[in-house]
């Protein structure tokens, strides 16, 4: 994976402006994951715990396909309350690093009115390159 961060955009913090997958990589599209456990129950009502579990679920799908979290090229994070994300940014960052270490793919954060599961506060979808 080659991170693309043009100088004229300045240095990004916690994400990359672009990610170029290596030639010959297969592309995996990961459906939106929420903080469900294997019985499809939310692991917590806590925003940070939901964020971490949703990200762990994304990483599990990538691993099952033969990849690793470092192969994740793009994340789209949907939240029902952007302010909760901002208020917990430090804890979210720590949870992120527990799952992804210091791999920062291209990312977008989108605030939505609601998610399918009424208790879900975070949903994360991804695109990964499997080599």
**Tens-place pLDDT, residues 115-126:** 999 999 999 999
Q: Do the Cβ atoms of 72 and 128 come closer than 8 Å?
A: yes
Q: Whole-prediction pTM value?
A: 0.94
User: Three-state SS for 83?
Assistant: helix
Instruction: State the alpha helices, DSSP H only, in 1-131.
Output: 47-64, 82-87, 89-100
**Tens-place pLDDT, residues 36-65:** 999 999 999 999 999 999 999 999 999 999
Q: Do the Cβ atoms of 13 and 54 come closer than 8 Å?
A: no
Give the pLDDT of residue 41: 96
Distance of CA 42 to the CA centre of its chain: 17
**Tens-place pLDDT, residues 2-16:** 999 999 999 999 999
User: Three-state SS for 18?
Assistant: strand
């Amino acid at each position: 994976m080659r991170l693309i961060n043009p100088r004229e955009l300045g240095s990004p913090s916690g994400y990359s402006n672009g990610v170029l997958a290596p030639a010959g990589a297969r592309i995996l599209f990961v459906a939106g994951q929420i903080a469900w456990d294997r019985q499809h129950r939310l692991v917590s009502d806590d925003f940070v715990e939901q964020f971490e579990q949703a990200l762990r679920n994304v990483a599990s799908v990538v691993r099952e396909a033969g990849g690793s979290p470092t192969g994740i090229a793009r994340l789209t994070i949907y939240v029902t309350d952007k302010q909760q994300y901002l208020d917990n940014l430090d804890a979210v960052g720590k949870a992120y690093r527990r799952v992804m270490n210091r791999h920062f793919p291209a990312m977008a954060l989108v605030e939505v009115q609601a998610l399918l599961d009424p208790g879900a506060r975070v949903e994360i979808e991804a695109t990964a390159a499997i080599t």
